[in-house]
Amino acid sequence: MPRTPVPALAAAAALAAAVLAPATPAAARPFGEKGQYIVTTDASFDYQRDTIRIDGAENETRTRYSFHLAGDYTSFRRVTFGIDVGLDGELQGFDTMQGFRFGGRAGYVVPLGSVASLWLRAGASFGNTTYQTRTSQLTVRGTRISASAPVMFNPYPQVLVGLGPTFDHDLTASVATNVAAPRVTGFGVHLTLGFWFE
């Protein structure tokens, strides 16, 4: 009766073990490596309802909301390109404000250690905001440049928490083709939350 050689049995056993063994997940690469998709709540995610007490008159309520979402991709190591969209609004009595913003940006990730980095970002966006009262309505359109530099932390693999300064400046703002509207310049500090995947 022919016998199977011992080396052949060992090779077959090793192959079966490799096929049947559960795959071990690969360790996540550091934030900013090439080929990562990044999703963040960029700038703000806020909802607030206020009650305004007026002596001799009925109380009024004011509801404000703001939601900004951004998606970026690391086309090259530490270099990001992305888009961001934002919705803002306010409702007080018969007066409303509703705004929409869409833009693009580029960034660069500077490692600060194993779980921290500085994410430098700059971009431009187009905005459309409509103000409406009982008697009138107007729409302001404009372009804006923005920059931010949050320090990003990775408390868990592929989870992002960041805080840093922001700057916004309206390049143009107009109610109609030839009617200029006030332009806004703003500084702030914002929290960024998000995650990335590959």
pLDDT in tens, 139-154: 999 999 999 999 999 9
Query: Residue 8: in which H helix or E strand, if any?
Result: helix 6-20
Domain ranges across the chain: 6-197
CB burial of residue 82 (10 Å; 0-12, 13-18, 19+): buried
**Can you give the pLDDT at residue 145?**
96
46: pLDDT confidence band, cut at 50, 70 and 90?
low
Query: Residue 19: in which H helix or E strand, if any?
Result: helix 6-20
What topology does CATH give the domain 6-197?
A: Porin (2.40.160)
**Can you give the pLDDT at residue 17?**
44
Task: For 64, list phi and psi in degrees, rounded to 5.
Answer: -125, 140
Pairwise CA distance, residues 87 & 172, whole Å: 19
25: pLDDT confidence band, cut at 50, 70 and 90?
very low
**Can you give the pLDDT at residue 28?**
67
Give the side-chain half-sphere CA count within 13 A for 190.
22
Residue-averaged pLDDT of the chain: 83
Does residue 160 come out as left (phi exceeding 0), alpha (psi in the -120 to 50 range) or beta? beta
Pairwise CA distance, residues 45 & 6, whole Å: 65
127: pLDDT confidence band, cut at 50, 70 and 90?
very high
pLDDT in tens, 171-197: 999 997 678 888 889 888 888 999 999
pLDDT in tens, 86-105: 999 988 877 899 999 999 99
**Can you give the pLDDT at residue 9?**
43
Q: Write down the pTM of the prediction.
A: 0.76
Pairwise CA distance, residues 146 & 131, whole Å: 23
What percentage of residues in the chain have a pLDDT greater than 70? 83
Beta bridge partners of residue 68, listed in sequence order: 86
Pairwise CA distance, residues 80 & 36, whole Å: 9
pLDDT in tens, 104-122: 999 999 999 889 999 999 9
